[in-house]
Amino acid sequence: MFRIPRILRCLTALTFSATLASTAALASPLQDPTWLTSWMASQQPVWQPGAQPLPTGVPTVLSGQTLRQVVRLSVGGKRVRVVLSNPYGRHPVAVGAAQLARHAGGGSIDAAGSRAVTFGGSASVIIPAGQSVASDPVAIDAPALGELALSLYLPQATAIESFHWDGRQTAWLAAGNATTQATLPAPQSFSARILLSEVQVDAPGYTGAVVAVGDSITEGNGSTPDTNRRWPDVLAQRAAGNGVAVLNAGISGGRLLRDGMGVSALARLDRDALSQPHVRTVIAAIGINDIAWPGSTFAPGDAVPQAAELIEGYRRLIARAHARGVRVIGATITPFAGALRDTPIRGYDSPGKEAVRLAVNDWIRNGGAFDAVADFDAAVRDPARPQALLPAFDSGDHLHPGDAGYRAMAAQIGLTLPELARQSRSGAPGGKSRR
């Protein structure tokens, strides 16, 4: 579930050898109870050419370059730390320097206010293969809904093996150590996230965190890049004044039951959602690719699942969340008639797949298993042709909503924001409000 991004010319493959001497502790929530994740990007393995119908759009190797990435926070604070991740890497990653600054538009930063990021007191760090590292706290004014830019200098040949495929936000790449420069010299650009997985803030007035677990519709494919108009962004605007962090754990091509362009939602639920500090609510907006991928260009050998198989998957997700005292809002699956017809992708929709979607949506609405329901299907479907998106909400590929569609979806999160962040009763659903 995605569009093809701009392809950045692959760099010449180099042998990776990390020689920096610094080390850092593995990333874990600070014991200080006021720290909260304010932004995140779920990690995916970088696939080999031909393993997916679409290219990765990122370099295979970075060497002697500065990588600058922009994030918009959901809640703010006066101290920030970043988490760098290499979960699918087979090699360690060496970072020679890092700077955090307020974003000044495009690839530029407020250099006067830039702050050095350290790791265990060191300016450099090695991210072990398969692991993550957290920075020391950085004193910087980071308001709610404000944008920060993290600049990383990668001094040695670094194989890119973990990433987040579609960031919907331009990242910038320039030669040399330009981490402190206001504007990068002759930068290249792409839309993936590399190494940066979380930004956490010291937020004493927080209420809690809401995590949206989904696919490319949650990730915001079809929304205007660099404008933060995904449906979780719209929800974050409503939630910020209440001290509620809204975290986007969407992955393009994500599925509930099976791996897609990343591991399944069930496999990554703990990592991406339940382990987040102070998480109170998970919004489960996943399942469209479970139905649409089988028999298509993406998974030609897979059989379309029965509705009962997806329902069992949702039940497992709900049970695991409730066991941790986290409530779950279920989102209905949006329509996709005619999806991707103007692309090389074939077999994405069919009458049989539509029947499964309708059956699953009926259970989400009426099965009583979720603590609340967000009826995304009702929000964006065409009343005259309910198997399809309303043209005004269609981004143009008949699968992903556009900006207006995502606003309509966010409006379906019908619980008041304090309720969104309230912990459910231990081991049981946290209320049945469906206003």
Distance, in Å, from the CA atom of 140 to the CA atom of 132, rounded to the nearest integer, reads: 22
Judge whether 192 lies within some domain.
yes
pLDDT band at 106 (very low <50, low <70, confident <90, very high): very high
Co-location of 166 and 244 in the same domain: no
Average confidence (pLDDT) over 397-422: 82
Contacts with 341 (C-beta within 8 Å, 6 or more apart), sequence order: 398
The answer on 296 and 168 residing in a single domain is no
Q: Which of 199, 226, 260 is the last residue of a domain?
A: 199
Report residue 27's pLDDT band, with 50, 70 and 90 as the boundaries: very low
pLDDT at position 267 over 70: yes
Q: Are residues 124 and 144 in the same domain?
A: yes
User: What is residue 365's predicted lDDT score, i.e. its pLDDT?
Assistant: 98
State the Cα–Cα distance between residues 390 and 213, nearest whole angstrom: 24
Query: For residues 430 and 344, which has the higher predicted lDDT (pLDDT)?
Result: 344
Question: How confident is the model over 356-371, as pLDDT tens digits?
Answer: 999 999 999 999 999 9
Q: Is residue 11 part of a domain?
A: no
Return the percentage of the chain with pLDDT > 70, whole number: 88
**Rounded mean pLDDT of 8-19?**
28
Choosing from 169, 199, 229, the residue where a domain stops is: 199
Per-residue pLDDT, averaged over 336-359, amounts to 96
Q: What is the pLDDT at residue 418?
A: 52
Q: What is the pLDDT of residues 207-230, one digit of tens each?
A: 899 999 999 999 999 999 999 999
Residues 195 and 211 in one domain: no
pLDDT of residue 415: 56
Q: What is the pLDDT of residue 21?
A: 30
Residues 222 and 362 in one domain: yes
Question: pLDDT band at 204, cuts 50/70/90?
Answer: confident
Is 15 a member of any domain? Answer: no
Tell me: do 213 and 175 sit in the same domain.
Answer: no
**In a shared domain, residues 167 and 271:** no
> Which of 199, 228, 255 marks a domain boundary?
199
Residues 260-269 have a mean pLDDT of 96
Q: Using CA atoms, how far apart are residues 24 and 317, in angstroms rounded to an integer? A: 33
Q: Is the pLDDT of residue 74 over 80?
A: yes
Domain count across the chain: 2
112 burial (CB, 10 Å; 0-12 / 13-18 / 19+) is exposed
- Written as one letter, the residue type at 316 is R
**Res 213: pLDDT:** 99
What is the model's pLDDT at position 50? 74
Residue 221's domain comprises 207-420
Residues 254 and 213 in one domain: yes
Do residues 301 and 407 both lie within one domain? Answer: yes
What's the pLDDT band for 195 if we cut at 50, 70, 90?
very high
**Are 194 and 223 part of one and the same domain?**
no
Q: What rounded mean pLDDT belongs to the chain? A: 89
Cβ(283)–Cβ(245) below 8 Å = no
Position 241 scores a pLDDT of 82
Angle between helices 351-366 and 307-323 (to 10 degrees): 30
CB-CB contact of 393 with 400 (8 Å): no
Tell which wins on pLDDT, 77 or 421.
Answer: 77
The pLDDT assigned to 424 comes to: 43
On whether residue 392 sits in a domain, the answer given is: yes
Banded pLDDT at 252 (limits 50, 70, 90): very high
The answer to whether residues 409 and 268 belong to one domain is: yes
Mean pLDDT along residues 7-36: 41
| Region of poorest pLDDT, from 139-153, 234-248, 283-297 | 234-248
Instruction: Name the burial class of residue 172, with classes exposed (0-12), middle (13-18) and buried (19+) by CB atoms within 10 angstroms of its CB.
Output: buried
